[in-house]
Amino acid sequence: MSAVPVTIGVRVPAPGPVDAAASGPLVDTHGRVHRDLRISLTDRCSLRCTYCMPEQGNEWLARTSILTLDEIERAARVAAAAGVSTFRLTGGEPLLRRDIVDVVRRLAAIEGPDGPVQIAMTTNGIRLGEVLPDLVAAGLHRLNISIDTLRADRFHELTRRDRLGEVLEGIAAAAASGLRPLKLNAVAMRGVNDDELVDLVAFAVSHGAQMRFIEQMPLDAGHTWDRTQMVTREEILDALAARWTLVPIPGRAGAPAERWALDGGPHSVGVIASVTAPFCGDCDRLRLTADGQLRNCLFSTTEYDLVPALRSGGDDAEIESILRACVRGKLPGHAINDPSFLQPARGMNAIGG
């Protein structure tokens, strides 16, 4: 069969036939082995962050298009058999999914060639205090929680929601849960939160967490990204170096964040510099959108549709062949810094973090 990639709304020529019997690691044509699948559970979110989506007028995915728990588990089992060892649950906001505990439980029971998989989650923290005990009991291993500011007024302006207290409650619950490493994520934005970088790191340290700053990327639904408003990796490090001695931590491998020990450790800080210091050469990640589209890059304009195989009687070999076609089609990098770069049609909430 031929796996057919889809550019949003437009069919493009299919790649050549895929050998359904192909086996071994998921290696692309540039030698990168893929071990991480990020699974978006919904495009909906309880916040409306200005760099992600509009406050009003969002076009949500039809509920009938959202993958069911059985479909998610089946796709994950095929991916695990092919060597994927970590599943990160994202959204939108994954905790809005009513069956989130069952999702974690079913995925945590999967084993690959090297043993049980790891289950991670990226969340805004709202509802986390309520459901975290059940998530841990179901098999959740790691958490990333997004928090861009510690100021209530600024949080309200940035997210268009007055819910900072709930996010802080979620972080406190995560800190008390024993899940480690615990990571807090913030998008660094000029004139918005760039005066809080030191405060955010100190807050993370006080909760036994690692703060990670993310360069703002062209992934907003309104396509209003402005490079001049992005706080760069060097600016972030310069701000932190005024408070701590930063010592680089080696062994990054395929991780998106570079890390530095604070005053020699044990605490550390990370920077994800997708724009000014791309790490595409070591990328080991794939993405599955909530409506069943495989993506080989966050910035890809091409998707590989798993839905027909999942809903029309396709066998596991067909799903695997689409997965391998997606991996084979991966480009060397995202080309953000190339004049020919095209921003994905989907916003971040619809792609999955």
pLDDT band at 343 (very low <50, low <70, confident <90, very high): low
Check residue 215 and report its DSSP letter: E
Note whether 324 and 26 are within 8 A (CB).
yes
Task: Pull the structure tokens for residue 338.
Answer: 């190339």
Can you give the pLDDT at residue 344?
62
Whether 3 shows a pLDDT value over 80: the answer reads no
pLDDT tens digits, residue range 83-93?
999 999 999 99
Within 13 Å and on the Cβ side, how many CA atoms surround 226? 7
Candidate from 187-196, 215-224, 231-240, 304-313 with smallest mean pLDDT? 215-224
Can you give the pLDDT at residue 59?
78
Whether 74 shows a pLDDT value over 60: the answer reads yes
Whether 17 shows a pLDDT value over 70: the answer reads no
pLDDT tens digits, residue range 133-189?
999 999 999 999 999 999 999 999 999 999 999 999 999 999 999 899 999 999 999
Query: If residue 249 lies in a helix (H) or strand (E), which one and from where to where?
Result: strand 246-249
In the chain, pLDDT over 70 holds for what percent of residues?
86
pTM of the model: 0.90
Check residue 148 and report its DSSP letter: -
For residue 276, report the phi and psi dihedrals to the nearest 5 degrees.
-90, -20
Q: Which residues contact 7 (CB under 8 A, 6 or more apart)?
A: 301, 302, 303
Q: Give the mean pLDDT of 86-108.
A: 97
Task: Pull the structure tokens for residue 90.
Answer: 């994202």
The residue among 280 and 67 whose pLDDT is bigger is: 67
Can you give the pLDDT at residue 339?
54
Note whether 48 and 300 are within 8 A (CB).
no
Q: Give the mean pLDDT of 310-324.
A: 96
Distances (CA, A) of 80 to 73, 75, 112: 10, 9, 5
The sign of the torsion formed by the CA atoms of 298, 302, 307, 309 equals negative
Can you give the pLDDT at residue 20?
37
Can you give the pLDDT at residue 7?
46
Q: Which residues contact 205 (CB under 8 A, 6 or more apart)?
A: 211, 262, 267
Note whether 200 and 239 are within 8 A (CB).
no
Q: Give the mean pLDDT of 34-51.
A: 92
Can you give the pLDDT at residue 230?
82
pLDDT band at 348 (very low <50, low <70, confident <90, very high): low
